[in-house]
Amino acid sequence: MAQVDPARSRIRDRKGGLELELALSQGVPYRIFTLQDPRRVVLDFREVDWSGVQAATLVRSDLVASAAMGGVRPGWSRLVLTLTAPLALQRAALTIDPESGAAVLRARFMRVGDAAFAAAAGAAPDPGWALPAATSGDSRAASSTSEAGVLRILLDPGHGGLDPGAMRDGVTESRLMLSYARTLREALVRAGAEVAMTREDDSFVSLERRVEMAHAMDADLFISLHADALAGGGARGTTVHTLSKTASDEASRKLAERHDRGDILAGVDLSHSDDVVADVLMDLARMETQPRSEALADAVVAALRSAGLPLNSRPRRAAGYSVLKAADIPSILIEVGFLSSDRDRANLVTPEFRARLAGAVRDAVLAWQLADEAEAPLRRQ
Ligand SMILES: [Zn+2]
């Protein structure tokens, strides 16, 4: 894996444009492209280790509003620069020192007009570089061999890779949710469920891809797991969220927005907006699914309460979470606690606490399944 040498790397203004110089311990394949809404420059690399690189010291330019870097999928890493002005790649070259094997990537970007930027924006359609594609309909058929009555659950540890989520006192949401998801998976599998996860390691998975995975495995349930931080205020305890067009409160609206921003920072192309017809069909499907999602969320709150686990004073919330938009699969998002709360953070880093929490969520899922099966004959097929 190539290491970035922060001391010899810089991104700065030069002659009215932007100049990038990255010193790497060895040469690696790379590509550079731009994205629209918001305007970004994306640099992908094979196997680059960004640890020790601080965005604030790397980037010294008014043309860059923010920078994010890190893993985007196993074996690939990414640097995303959010721009304050439209830029186009003028030239790029990777030179390798024949003696040491060390490499320097130099790239220059020039100012262009809005139309020129829009015309050039978009990831190159090279399958070798693409983010994992949507699984085709075939896998749905292949996976429909599950026994009747066996719940198929997709657990979604929030964030990952380039998008670490909340960070407080050395605790990172993406890593913490991965270990909690593993504990919850074990509890659910022991209870007879079939469980998959949207990610098995610290890699980035887009929100859209997470929803696609739920469809591909023909999931009965989708449970997204988070432990975000809220600035100010003393938010603490578990909250359980469902999808809603209007947010139940300002904090939930901001959480949903922040999760979408993670995708933008990670360089996901969000420029293809949903078409209107599809939206109407989705709304119809959601009319069936929504009460089942609400019932699951209520069951989680009830199970945590009866287990004596710390709940938020307003534990049931709703907002426009993109990851909950699978129209035909009951989906909830559990904020297991807030990393901004000292008490919650201390609880969540304890394996025993995570195990108790997993036990309560498992109980909720089993209780929900019983009630849901009883109501199934009443639902339209
Ligand atoms: Zn989160």
Q: Where are the chain's structural domains?
A: 2-120, 146-378
What does the pLDDT read at residue 155?
98
Q: Higher confidence at residue 21 or residue 286?
A: 21
CATH classification code of 2-120 = 2.60.40.3500
What does the pLDDT read at residue 6?
93
CATH for 146-378, among 3.30.470.20, 3.90.226.30, 3.40.50.1820, 3.40.630.40? Answer: 3.40.630.40
* Residue 137 pLDDT > 50: no
Q: Higher confidence at residue 380 or residue 357?
A: 357
Q: Higher confidence at residue 204 or residue 274?
A: 204
Q: Which residue has the tokens 């058929």?
A: 141
In terms of average pLDDT, the best of 133-137, 255-259, 286-290 is: 255-259
| Separation of CA 266 and ligand 1 centre (Å) | 14
| Separation of CA 281 and ligand 1 centre (Å) | 28
User: 27: which 2 tokens?
Assistant: 């040469």
| Separation of CA 250 and ligand 1 centre (Å) | 16
pLDDT, tens only, 11-38: 999 988 999 999 999 998 888 999 998 9
* Residue 136 pLDDT > 80: no
| Separation of CA 180 and ligand 1 centre (Å) | 13
| Separation of CA 127 and ligand 1 centre (Å) | 29
Output the CA torsion sign for 352, 207, 237, 318: negative
pLDDT band, very low/low/confident/very high, at 144 (cuts 50, 70, 90): very low
User: 299: which 2 tokens?
Assistant: 């069951």
* Residue 78 pLDDT > 60: yes
| Separation of CA 40 and ligand 1 centre (Å) | 23
Average pLDDT, the chain: 88
pLDDT, tens only, 148-185: 679 999 999 999 999 999 999 999 999 999 999 999 99
